[in-house]
């Protein structure tokens, strides 16, 4: 696959994969790698180890892999790097990476490789083209960097601007829902680093990065880079739609009945509402909706004086992703002792959400309690409209 003259995609489509460390990948994964044919042949990033031979065969369509002189490693997570030992064994290239990446590669692979450590703003001339490097620590690992092909204005953006999707389409203007898949990826991988995403835009200005093409390490390639950069700024600022998300789990349907009453109340105000069950819906899909929701309502029963364990797991996942600027509401049911309500509110307070008084019921909700839940939903809906 030629991206432009003398620049080729030599990545791999992993259609069967459905899990990326607990991130449900409904349509598989892509491990992107890019081959630059210039005076010094250069490979940007690698693929997962089980696809290393497949990648080498693709490279052989364009050049002898032994001729690779530079191997640029933007990120050392094994989905990108575990195939690299095969490349190094064949070509013995100069491995270009950050100081942290060198340390990680040495630890992962006992790598006694020919390293060239680079810092932000440094460049390598590979012939007609110049590669400029921008360190992006914690987007999303300490080792991370991006590589800019100066003359062609192509940004190899590592995990930034990526998507978890295996698609025969290689470009955003060929894949109708490209932005949606980028949103799913951002919500589940990069949401905790929103401040660093906004800083990245300033780094582009500082290091004169003005891409005409953004080529990430996962998913499709952006021939319309302004489209995805604009979305990233929106997501990083936690700009909200007029939307609420109701997330629940239930044992004997009591909490479920509260969830439906709250959702009905929200919907009656004209606010969009999305409803999820943490054991029936994928967490990746739930937090994608949380990303741009203004209100998040979370409910679960009490077990052993604490929140029901499946919800406890989801709350841990949510807390790690650190969504901001939300209105929070807790709703719970209990039998002989409470505890779930306090656990949920505690997480919302840790996230610094604006917490609205919720509802707890013992055993099965009465008609009067369901009416109260509906009214709370109306309150939430009206507050979303006021704040949007």
Q: Which of 210, 236, 262 lies at the terminal end of a domain, its last residue?
A: 236
For the segment 76-134, what is each residue's pLDDT rounded down to a tens digit? Answer: 998 889 999 999 999 999 999 999 999 999 999 998 999 999 999 999 999 999 999 99
Q: What would the mean pLDDT of 164-174 be, rounded to a whole number?
A: 92
Residue 337 has pLDDT above 80, yes or no: no
Residue 303 backbone dihedrals phi, psi, to 5 degrees: -135, 125
Q: Exposed (0-12), middle (13-18) or buried (19+): which is 176, by Cβ within 10 Å?
A: exposed
How far is it, in rounded angstroms, from Cα 3 to Cα 34? 9
Report the pLDDT value the prediction gives residue 17, as an integer from 0 to 100. 79
How far is it, in rounded angstroms, from Cα 122 to Cα 154? 16
Q: Could you list the active site residues?
A: 21, 75, 77, 79, 140, 159, 185, 218
Contact 56, 90 (CB under 8 A): yes
Report the pLDDT value the prediction gives residue 378, as an integer from 0 to 100. 96
Report the pLDDT value the prediction gives residue 388, as an integer from 0 to 100. 73
Residue 19 has pLDDT above 80, yes or no: no
Are 231 and 249 contained in the same domain?
no
Are 209 and 355 contained in the same domain?
no
Provide Rg for the chain, Cα atoms: 24
Residue 305 has pLDDT above 90, yes or no: no
């049911």: which residue's tokens? 333
Are 190 and 263 contained in the same domain?
no
Report the pLDDT value the prediction gives residue 338, as an integer from 0 to 100. 80
* Residue at 198 is within a domain: yes
Residue 308 backbone dihedrals phi, psi, to 5 degrees: -50, 130
Percentage of the chain lying above the pLDDT 70 cut? 100
Residue 24 has pLDDT above 90, yes or no: no
Quick one: pLDDT band at residue 50, thresholds 50, 70, 90? very high
Report the pLDDT value the prediction gives residue 319, as an integer from 0 to 100. 96
* Residue at 387 is within a domain: no
Report the pLDDT value the prediction gives residue 23, as an integer from 0 to 100. 78
Are 67 and 126 contained in the same domain?
yes
For the segment 216-273, what is each residue's pLDDT rounded down to a tens digit? Answer: 999 999 999 999 999 999 999 999 999 999 999 999 899 999 999 999 999 999 999 9
Average pLDDT, the chain: 94
Report the pLDDT value the prediction gives residue 15, as an integer from 0 to 100. 86
Q: Which helix (H) or strand (E) holds 360?
A: strand 354-362
Report the pLDDT value the prediction gives residue 267, as an integer from 0 to 100. 97
Quick one: pLDDT band at residue 26, thresholds 50, 70, 90? confident
Q: Which of 188, 203, 236 lies at the terminal end of a domain, its last residue?
A: 236
pTM: 0.93
> Number of folded domains in the chain?
2
Q: Which domain holds residue 253?
A: 244-382
Q: What would the mean pLDDT of 311-320 be, rounded to a whole number?
A: 96
Q: What would the mean pLDDT of 11-24 be, rounded to a whole number?
A: 83
Report the pLDDT value the prediction gives residue 285, as an integer from 0 to 100. 95
Are 81 and 8 contained in the same domain?
yes
Distances (CA, A) of 315 to 205, 321, 364, 379: 37, 10, 24, 24
Are 159 and 248 contained in the same domain?
no
């Amino acid at each position: 696959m030629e991206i432009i003259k003398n620049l080729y995609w030599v990545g791999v489509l992993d259609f069967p994969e459905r899990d990326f460390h607990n991130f449900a990948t409904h349509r598989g994964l892509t491990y992107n790698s890019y081959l630059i044919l210039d005076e010094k042949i250069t490979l940007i990033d690698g693929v997962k180890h089980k696809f290393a031979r497949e990648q080498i065969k693709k490279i052989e369509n364009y050049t002898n892999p032994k001729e690779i002189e530079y191997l640029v490693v933007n990120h050392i997570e094994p989905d990108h790097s575990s195939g690299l030992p095969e490349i190094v064994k064949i070509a013995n290239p100069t491995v270009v990476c950050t100081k942290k990446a060198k340390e990680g590669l040495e630890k992962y692979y006992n790598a006694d490789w020919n390293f060239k450590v680079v810092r932000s703003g440094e460049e390598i001339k590979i012939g007609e083209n110049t590669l400029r490097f921008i360190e992006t620590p914690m987007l999303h690992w300490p080792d991370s960097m991006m590589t800019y092909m100066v003359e062609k204005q192509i940004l190899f953006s590592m995990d930034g601007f990526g998507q978890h999707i295996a698609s025969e389409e290689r470009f955003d203007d060929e894949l109708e829902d490209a932005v949606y898949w980028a949103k799913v990826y951002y919500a589940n991988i990069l949401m905790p680093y929103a401040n660093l995403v906004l800083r990245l835009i300033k780094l582009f200005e500082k290091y004169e990065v003005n891409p005409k093409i953004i080529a990430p390490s996962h998913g499709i390639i952006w021939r319309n880079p302004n489209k995805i950069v604009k979305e990233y700024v929106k997501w990083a600022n936690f700009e909200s739609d007029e939307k609420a998300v109701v997330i629940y789990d239930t044992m004997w349907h009591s909490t479920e009945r509260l969830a439906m009453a709250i959702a009905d109340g929200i919907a009656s105000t004209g606010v969009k509402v999305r409803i999820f069950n943490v054991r029936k819906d994928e967490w990746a899909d739930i937090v994608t909706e949380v990303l741009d929701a203004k209100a998040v309502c979370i409910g679960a029963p009490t077990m052993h004086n604490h929140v029901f364990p499946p919800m406890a797991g989801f709350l841990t996942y949510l807390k790690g992703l650190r969504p901001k600027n939300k209105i929070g509401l807790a709703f719970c049911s209990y039998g002989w002792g409470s505890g779930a309500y306090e656990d949920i509110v505690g997480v919302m307070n840790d996230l610094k959400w604006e917490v609205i008084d919720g509802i707890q019921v013992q055993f099965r909700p009465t008609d009067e309690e369901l009416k109260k839940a509906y009214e709370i939903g109306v309150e939430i809906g009206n507050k979303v409209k006021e704040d949007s």
